[in-house]
Amino acid sequence: MLLMRSRYTAHALVERAYLLETWHPNFRPRQLDLDARVRWIGLDIIDSEQREQSAIVEFEASLLLDGEVSAMHERSDFGFRQGRWFYTSGEQLAASFVPWKPGRNRDCPCGSGRKFKRCCAND
Ligand SMILES: [Zn+2]
């Protein structure tokens, strides 16, 4: 689903305005605190189901924070309203893997091709 992907990209770029604008008005938080230190490094769409007025997307997005790789696993609900799709809410699920710390000399998990210590290790 396209909205899911563009919201993921917006997260990756920390675009608060876009995330709020695509959030269903009845569910939208007053403000959104995004951690600028989070680096999103992958998106896996696990399941999606679209009906006329609603859609569900289950995804797992992996991220790097403080030298550790972890994941956000969520089942997101979307609603169709006035000709547009909106994110409404999401149910947080357990990640499919235990958070882990990449070795400093291995390839960075962000896929840059650089060594971890020279890329996202944050030091
Ligand atoms: Zn990196």
* pTM for the structure as a whole: 0.85
Quote the ligand 1 centre to 115 CA distance (angstroms).
8
Of 38 and 99, the one with more pLDDT: 99
What's the domain count of the chain? Answer: 1
Instruction: State the pLDDT at residue 22.
Output: 93
State which residues have CB under 5 angstroms from ligand 1, the bound ion. 108, 110, 112, 119-120
C-alpha radius of gyration, the chain, whole number: 16
Question: Which residue segment(s) compose the domain that 60 sits in?
Answer: 2-97
Quote the ligand 1 centre to 90 CA distance (angstroms).
28
Number of DSSP helices (H) and strands (E) in the chain, helices first: 2, 4
Quote the ligand 1 centre to 122 CA distance (angstroms).
9
Element (H, E) at 19: helix 16-21
Please state, for a pLDDT cut of 90, what percent of the chain lies above it.
69
Residue 46 lies in a domain: yes
Instruction: State the pLDDT at residue 123.
Output: 58
For 8-17, the pLDDT digits (tens) are 888 888 888 8
For 43-88, the pLDDT digits (tens) are 999 999 999 999 999 999 999 999 999 999 999 999 999 999 999 9
Quote the ligand 1 centre to 36 CA distance (angstroms).
15
- What CATH number is given to the structural domain containing 37? 3.10.450.50
